């Protein structure tokens, strides 16, 4: 996690059953120099040097929001996730991808910037998976469902 300073109160929210590979990076709001300002220099951050009000420190950067990772997400080797991004349930982030925008549930993205490569399943299967939310089930029910989770038999999970 880079540039996560308490003054922003931004969060990294990670769902259940996620796999995060070595070198994955989450870059928070303080890394976002203001793009709308005439200068990208972070004058408010150096408030003492420039005799500015300390309470305006966070105006030095654009605040794009929290990083939210859904459930059952796989983030590949050295992928980078930027602030304000939400990654949907069941998504796969390719190795070394740079995720700058939200990622739909059950999609596979890759590249710089990351773009959707494909959907993991057809729309009906995705809808069923989002409906049942197996990751919220009790341990025993998940344990019984492992064979179906492994072989892709979503209809048996609907029972």
Considering the domain architecture, whether residues 90 and 13 belong to the same structural domain is answered as yes
| Catalytic status, residue 33 | yes
Considering the domain architecture, whether residues 27 and 60 belong to the same structural domain is answered as yes
Q: Is the pLDDT confidence value at 2 over 70?
A: no
What is the number of domains present in the chain?
2
| Confidence at residue 21, expressed as pLDDT on a 0 to 100 scale | 98
Scanning the structure block, which residue is given the tokens 């989002």?
130
Considering the domain architecture, whether residues 67 and 85 belong to the same structural domain is answered as yes
Note whether residue 94 is domain-resident: yes
Structure-block tokens of residue 14: 């990670």
Of residues 20, 31, 33, 142, which has the active-site annotation? Answer: 33
Considering the domain architecture, whether residues 142 and 115 belong to the same structural domain is answered as no
Q: What's the chain's average pLDDT?
A: 91
Considering the domain architecture, whether residues 17 and 63 belong to the same structural domain is answered as yes
pLDDT band at 39 (very low <50, low <70, confident <90, very high): confident
Burial 59-75 (b: 16+ CB within 10 A, else e): bbbbbbebbbbbbbbbb
Considering the domain architecture, whether residues 42 and 106 belong to the same structural domain is answered as yes
Note whether residue 1 is domain-resident: no
Structure-block tokens of residue 32: 């976002």
């Amino acid at each position: 996690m880079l540039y996560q300073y308490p003054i922003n109160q931004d969060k990294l929210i990670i769902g259940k059953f996620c796999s995060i590979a070595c070198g994955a990076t989450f870059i928070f709001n303080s890394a976002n120099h203001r793009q709308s300002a005439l200068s990208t220099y972070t004058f408010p951050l150096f408030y003492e040097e420039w005799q500015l009000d300390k309470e305006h420190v966070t105006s030095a950067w654009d605040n794009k929001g929290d990083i939210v990772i859904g459930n059952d997400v796989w983030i590949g080797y050295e992928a980078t996730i930027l602030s304000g991004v939400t990654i949907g349930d069941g998504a796969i982030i390719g190795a070394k991808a740079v995720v700058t925008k939200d990622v739909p549930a059950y999609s596979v993205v890759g590249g710089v910037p990351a773009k959707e490569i494909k959907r993991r399943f057809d729309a009906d299967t995705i809808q069923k998976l989002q409906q049942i939310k197996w990751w919220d089930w009790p341990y025993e029910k998940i344990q019984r469902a492992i064979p179906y989770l492994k072989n892709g038999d979503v209809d048996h999970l609907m029972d």
